[in-house]
Structure 1
Amino acid sequence: MATEPVILMYHSVEPYTEDPYRVTVRPERFERQLRWLRRRGLRGVSMRELRAAPDPRGLVGLTFDDGYADFVARVVPALRRYGFTATVYVVTGELGNHNAWDAAGPRKPLMTADDVRRVADAGIEVGSHSLTHPRLTTVDDAALQDEIGASRIALQELVRGPVDGFCYPYGAVGGREVAMVSAAGYAYACAVGARSIDGPHALPRTYIGDRDSSPRLHAKWIRHGLRNRKVGAR
């Protein structure tokens, strides 16, 4: 089996004093992480570009969950400095609000509808992160249909184009969720951590946080290679 490309999972990039969920990376750390990729001849790209590449070697998927407002203010300018792109997954029904699902964490503003249009027009891939950010494995079928299917319809109207990607809140995914994401017309979906379900609708990703210095990034890179050798041996 060919080696699976690396997909990195980010959330928020901004200065902070507390972050109980470890979803925030300081801007200076993020800059160093991007520089680490470039020094190794790697280029960060959107999932759309990664999946379309005939040969993904040298490419790294950059994904950002939740659609925080700092994606526009801090992430996009940093990506441009390095010639990188990315995919941002937004909570379609919460645009312009804040991260109410992180009850014990600091309030973080989310991208507005205008923000989403602007980044899409600038060539950033926008995907769905559901309507309201529930743990999808705990909702009934009717609610699941809205969270997955209705969010795609609304987002396509907003960006005036196709929405190919979905991202499972909390990484909560099982066979029912994969089947519904596929039926809703998504070409792929991102999960969290190592692969537990095969196929393009539960792609594994590597979490990146503020503690990930160059040595930790290197260790995660090695771990990815080892994991792929095990996958290839099945």
Structure 2
Amino acid sequence: MSVPVDTGTRAVRSPAPVPWVAMYHSVGNCSDDPYRITVSPDRLDRQLGWLRRRGLRGVSVAELLAARARGEDRGLVGLTFDDGYADFVDVALPVLRRHGCGATLFVLPGRLGGNNAWDPLGPRKPLLTADGIRSAAAQGVEIGSHGLTHVDLTKADDVTLTVETVESRVAIEELTGAPVAGFCYPYGSVDRRAADAVRDAGYEYACAIDPGPLSGRYALPRLHIGQNDTAVRLLLKYRLHGLRRRAVEGV
């Protein structure tokens, strides 16, 4: 049993390790990929096959956390896709469905139908339109917020911080007609101020990459999964994940 905590200003260790959550971005052509954000369809197929052969199933973060709260998360891993690239619906989703996996898609409602203009290098990758996001949601994908426009929240002023967290949630809920539970910090950057803003905006959880001293439902760490992650690398990442940090409450 976890030790009770106060209003959220301190962290208390729990005996359980953090859930295993994988971070993907784009699924497509990897020939020009300076930020290592792309995996090929074939590589994704092999990675999901690796999970399934080991009795593991990819699910959305919301499903993973709900199962964890019931003590029924054994064999479940979270699958997340950041930025909302257009290739998710056409390329990634069919692979996920073939393996019986779910996922969380973090989108940018302020850039609907745009591209990854925040990346100075590499090719311009198209983002999903409103119809594309609705299509993903209709097929059972959890839709979460990645902010409005992909801003580093740790460097944002108070007004921008509110807009990126509150208004993005409202926009997605209006677009899909469903509540939005999850947030994903752009660039994986999170500090106490950003985590507090996300919680105050009404989200139930938030994903980072490596949140440093922060942890808990509003600073969930994730593992980057890329084109070079073969079966051996996946096994190491899976087994070593529990040693990275322990689950704590308080953020």
1:161 Cα deviation after fit: 1.1
Displaced runs of 4+ in structure 1, greater than 3 A? none
Q: Deviations over 1:37-74 (max 9, x none)?
A: 00100000001110111221100000000000010011
Say if 2:153 is the partner of 1:136. yes
Say if 2:55 is the partner of 1:41. yes
Identify the residue that residue 18 of structure 1 maps to in structure 2.
32
Identify the residue that residue 126 of structure 1 maps to in structure 2.
143
Q: CA RMSD in A?
A: 1.3
1:3 Cα deviation after fit: 2.5
Say if 2:211 is the partner of 1:197. no
SS in 2 for 1:2: strand
1:193 Cα deviation after fit: 2.7
Consecutive unaligned residues in structure 2, runs of 5 or more: 1-14
Q: In 2, are the aligned partners of 1:11 and 1:24 still within 8 Å (CA)?
A: yes
Q: In 2, are the aligned partners of 1:132 and 1:147 still within 8 Å (CA)?
A: yes
Write the distance in 1 (CA, Å) between the matches of 2:217 and 2:27: 27
Q: Please show how residues 1-234 of structure 1 align to structure 2 within 5 Å.
A: 1-53=15-67, 54=70, 55-193=72-210, 196-228=213-245, 231=246
Q: In 1, are the aligned partners of 2:215 and 2:221 still within 8 Å (CA)?
A: no
AA partner of residue 111 (structure 1): L
Give the direction of change, closer, same or farther, for the CA distance of 1:232–1:178 in structure 2 (3 Å limit): closer
Q: In 2, are the aligned partners of 1:5 and 1:57 still within 8 Å (CA)?
A: no
1:232 Cα deviation after fit: 7.0
Write the distance in 2 (CA, Å) between the matches of 1:158 and 1:140: 26
- Tell me which of the two structures has the higher relative contact order, counting C-alpha pairs closer than 8 angstroms and 6 or more residues apart: 2
Bigger shift: residues 94-103 or 190-199: 190-199
Write the distance in 2 (CA, Å) between the matches of 1:210 and 1:50: 24
AA partner of residue 205 (structure 1): R
1:196 Cα deviation after fit: 2.8
Write the distance in 2 (CA, Å) between the matches of 1:41 and 1:34: 11
Normalised TM-score (structure 1): 0.96
1:15 Cα deviation after fit: 1.7
Write the distance in 1 (CA, Å) between the matches of 2:54 and 2:171: 39
Q: Deviations over 1:100-154 (max 9, x none)?
A: 0011111100010001111111111000000110111111000110011110011
Give the direction of change, closer, same or farther, for the CA distance of 1:65–1:232 in structure 2 (3 Å limit): closer
Q: Deviations over 1:209-233 (max 9, x none)?
A: 00100011111112113235xx379
Write the distance in 2 (CA, Å) between the matches of 1:232 and 1:179: 18
Normalised TM-score (structure 2): 0.89
Give 1 or 2: higher helix fraction.
Answer: 1
Write the distance in 2 (CA, Å) between the matches of 1:169 and 1:15: 23
1:194 Cα deviation after fit: 5.8
Write the distance in 2 (CA, Å) between the matches of 1:208 and 1:195: 19
Q: In 2, are the aligned partners of 1:14 and 1:25 still within 8 Å (CA)?
A: yes
Q: In 1, are the aligned partners of 2:211 and 2:219 still within 8 Å (CA)?
A: no
Write the distance in 2 (CA, Å) between the matches of 1:232 and 1:129: 23
Write the distance in 2 (CA, Å) between the matches of 1:195 and 1:58: 26
Q: In 2, are the aligned partners of 1:195 and 1:203 still within 8 Å (CA)?
A: no
The percentage of aligned residue pairs carrying the same residue is: 55
Write the distance in 2 (CA, Å) between the matches of 1:62 and 1:126: 12
